[in-house]
């Protein structure tokens, strides 16, 4: 089940499921470690009129949405037979590690009723099933789960502080299903402590008048020590959780509007998704600059690993989106992350954990008995490309000078030297989709762009020889792209070539990334006849001919393929990149109609809270693979801002109000 909504503050990242229950809880970085995940869920239950129901037992109608213009949930859960409706507003405090829920309980019957809420906590602290402890602390009257430097304190507030009942026990071991079952008779046993693989339940009873409502609060304080968690709890009680919720929502409203975009000609739903996309990107940015691809733990059920890594490519797209939206602090930290993780040889590895250590990989150092670099060179190139976008918008020359030698020069020297002897193109590496090893049009184009901007950086800092060197290398790569990677007869750019044998091998698969790389990175202008013809062929071969629509990655893409006569699943990023092509070639406002259609398409297939996945089921539009995918949200944000900037170039409107 993909995530219904994400909330985060750079240290904590929470993912709620379709029932509004906590399914992912990351700390001390977004993406590392997940202290819930796998088969565990923080369940929510209701006991009223001697009847009990969990939110996920089929008796509830639940809508998980996000509040407009801020990073907060807007969840409504209704059970007609119980005559109960609950409204949740959830936040993670932007300043400190607190997850706070405001719950409005509405009595739909015309008689007074006692309603008992049960909150179940199922932690897998530090992603191991051994050595957790949960206990009731009678001094503060709270539940505490802990293991080492990971502490989670649970408390509630209604008319009086604290909860009425509690129980702690085992879950999933020694024949125990879980302590949450203790709640189903409406009364908890009060067991005060347990260790091993444990869960806890608390119960809170409130009286609700006929057809009236009352408000209660629930929170989790997250810290590295019990004392620190207790101080957070004390702060919530002293300030009142409502004040902290309001402070958090006010902060995010200010953050998302730091650039006062005009949004000329765009529907409100498109604008709302733009803001939600920025929140989802920001929630996946760690305070140390790591930008993970997705916090969706459900991916583990279908593969060998998660998406909770820093792919320099995906992160660069997110960084460009944040830069364009005016968040230079987050992007600056990302480039500092890159400075710390680039290898001594000047390239980035496949992916990284949020703590800057090397991530898992399936790219070998040797293939067919020959040594090879297990890299995707476009990841190195895109970091430098994104850094120039940062400088263009921020003019932060001091920062650029500080990382020139350690990041820009290191990467540029590698890209200059890592070249194919026969063609002068960048030497073989893994493609943008991480599947095939060879010389690809997309990678070659990204390296061309990166060397161009490296030349600009060098010239900016008075390093004329280096500037000339990088410019000459870029020019030679551009010539080689047009010579070796373009089929003049058929009018499209190759996905990939191989030059190891006596004769060059050509992979003629139509790949959406190939022509995108050409116009995005300036190998040819978007309105060049070669580009126009290649785009037309790409649409002809990769557009999904179902009601869902969208653009596939490449012909024959089998990743999450559902079966049937279509080239591959529609991806958000490929579809948004086609929209960016129409922006680039627009000559007047009416030329923007395809762009607006594609933006509306993204809105249509976002979930109710505005989450965009990696790809869609071509028959139903259901979310497939990681959801949310930060890169999808990044490309959506970039498309909207590019749309506004192009309209300003055309004299139609201003980018900002």
The model's pLDDT over 570-585, given as tens digits with 9 standing for 90+, comes to 999 999 999 999 999 9
**The token pair that represents 186 in the structure block:** 């409406």
Residues 189-202 pLDDT 10s: 999 999 999 999 99
Residue 159 is predicted with a pLDDT of 85
Residue given tokens 């980018």 in the structure block? 655
What's phi and psi for 498, nearest 5 deg? Answer: -130, 130
> Is pLDDT above 90 for 400?
yes
Q: Cα 391 to chain center, whole Å?
A: 24
Q: What is the DSSP letter of 36?
A: S
- Percent of the chain clearing pLDDT 70 (strictly above): 99
Which residue from 307, 284, 280, 312 is spatially nearest to 30, judged by alpha carbons? 284
At 297, the pLDDT band (50, 70, 90 cuts) reads confident
| CA distance linking residue 312 with residue 608, whole number of Å | 29
Written as one string, the DSSP assignment of 497-522 is EE-SSSS-EEE---BHHHHHHHHHTT
Q: What's the CA gap between 480 and 478, in Å, rounded?
A: 5
**For the segment 168-222, what is each residue's pLDDT rounded down to a tens digit?**
999 998 888 999 999 999 999 999 999 999 999 999 999 999 999 999 999 999 9
Asked whether the predicted pLDDT for residue 552 surpasses 80, the reply is: yes
Residues 6+ apart with CB under 8 A from 40: 122, 123, 124, 171
Burial annotation 49-72 (CB, 10 A radius, 16+ → b, else e): eeebbbbbeeebebebbbbebbbb
Q: Which of 188, 218, 217 is nearest to 200 (CA)?
A: 188
- The full 3-state SS of 398-421, as one line of letters, equals HHHHHHHHHHHHHHHHHHHHCECC
Token pair belonging to 16: 């709620």
- Cα–Cα distance for residue pair 401/408, rounded to 1 Å: 10
What is the 8-class DSSP label of residue 527? Answer: T
pTM: 0.97
What pLDDT is stored for residue 502 in this prediction? 85
- Pair 650, 586: CB distance under 8 Å: yes
Residue pLDDT, tens place only, 589-616: 999 999 999 999 999 999 999 999 999 9
pLDDT at 581: 98
| Whether 451 contacts 471, CB under 8 Å | yes
Q: What value does the mean pLDDT take over residues 621-648?
A: 97
Full set of structural domains in the chain with CATH = 5-255 (2.70.98.10), 260-284+543-657 (no CATH)
């Amino acid at each position: 089940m993909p995530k219904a909504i994400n909330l985060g503050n750079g240290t904590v990242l929470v993912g709620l499921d379709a029932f509004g229950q906590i399914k992912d809880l990351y700390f001390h970085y977004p993406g590392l470690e997940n202290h819930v995940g796998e088969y565990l869920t923080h369940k929510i239950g209701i006991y009223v009129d001697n009847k009990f129901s969990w939110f996920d037992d089929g008796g509830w109608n639940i809508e998980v949405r996000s509040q407009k213009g801020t990073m907060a949930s807007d969840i409504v859960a209704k059970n007609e037979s119980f005559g109960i409706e609950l409204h949740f507003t959830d936040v993670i405090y932007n300043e400190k590690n607190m997850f706070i829920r405001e719950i409005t309980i509405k009595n739909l019957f015309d008689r007074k009723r006692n309603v008992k809420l049960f909150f179940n906590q199922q932690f897998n602290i530090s992603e191991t099933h051994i050595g957790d402890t949960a206990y009731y602390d009678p001094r503060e009257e709270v539940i505490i789960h802990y293991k080492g430097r990971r502490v989670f304190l649970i408390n509630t507030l209604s008319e009086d502080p604290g909860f009425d009942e509690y129980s702690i026990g085992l879950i999933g071991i020694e024949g125990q299903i879980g302590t949450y079952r203790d709640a189903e008779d409406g009364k908890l046993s009060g067991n005060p402590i347990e260790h091993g693989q444990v869960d806890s339940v608390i119960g809170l009873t409130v009286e609700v008048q006929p057809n009236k409502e009352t408000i209660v609060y629930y929170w989790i304080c997250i810290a590295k020590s019990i004392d620190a968690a207790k101080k957070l709890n004390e702060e919530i009680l002293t300030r009142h959780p409502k004040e902290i919720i309001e402070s958090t929502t006010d902060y995010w409203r200010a953050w998302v509007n730091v650039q006062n975009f005009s949004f000329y000609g765009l529907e409100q739903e498109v604008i709302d998704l733009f803001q939600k996309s920025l929140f989802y990107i920001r929630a996946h940015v760690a305070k140390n600059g790591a930008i993970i691809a997705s916090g969706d733990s459900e991916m583990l059920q279908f593969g060998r690993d998660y998406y909770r890594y820093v792919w320099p490519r995906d992160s660069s797209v997110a960084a460009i989106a944040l830069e364009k939206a005016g968040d230079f602090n987050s992007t600056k930290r990302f480039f500092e992350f890159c400075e710390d993780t680039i290898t001594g040889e000047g390239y980035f590895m496949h992916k990284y954990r949020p703590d800057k250590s090397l991530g898992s990989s399936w790219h070998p150092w040797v293939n067919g008995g020959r040594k090879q670099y297990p890299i995707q060179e476009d990841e190195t190139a895109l970091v430098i490309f994104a850094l120039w976008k940062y400088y263009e918008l921020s003019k932060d020359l001091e920062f650029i000078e500080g990382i020139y030698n350690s990041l820009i020069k290191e990467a540029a020297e590698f890209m200059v030297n890592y070249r194919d002897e026969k063609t002068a193109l960048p030497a073989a590496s893994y493609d943008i989709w991480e599947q095939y090893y060879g010389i690809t049009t997309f990678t070659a184009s990204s390296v061309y762009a990166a060397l161009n901007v490296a030349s600009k950086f060098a010239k900016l800092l008075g390093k004329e020889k280096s500037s000339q060197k990088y410019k000459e290398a870029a020019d030679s790569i551009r010539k080689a792209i047009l010579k070796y990677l373009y089929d003049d007869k058929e009018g499209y750019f190759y996905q990939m070539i191989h030059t190891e044998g006596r004769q060059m091998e050509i992979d003629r698969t139509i790949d959406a990334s190939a022509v995108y790389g050409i116009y995005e990175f300036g190998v040819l202008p978007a309105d060049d006849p070669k580009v126009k013809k290649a785009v037309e062929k790409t649409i002809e071969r990769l557009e999904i001919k179902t009601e869902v629509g969208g653009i596939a990655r490449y012909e024959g893409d089998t990743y999450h393929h559902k079966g049937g006569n279509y080239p591959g699943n529609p991806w958000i990023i490929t579809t948004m990149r086609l929209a960016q092509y129409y922006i680039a070639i627009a000559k007047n406002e009416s030329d923007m109609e395809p762009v607006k259609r594609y933006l509306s398409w993204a809105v249509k297939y976002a979930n109710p809270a505005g989450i965009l996945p990696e790809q869609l089921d071509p028959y139903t539009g259901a979310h497939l693979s990681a959801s949310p995918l930060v890169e999808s949200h990044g490309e959506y944000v970039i498309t909207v801002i590019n749309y506004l900037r192009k309209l300003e170039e055309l004299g139609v409107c201003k980018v900002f109000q």
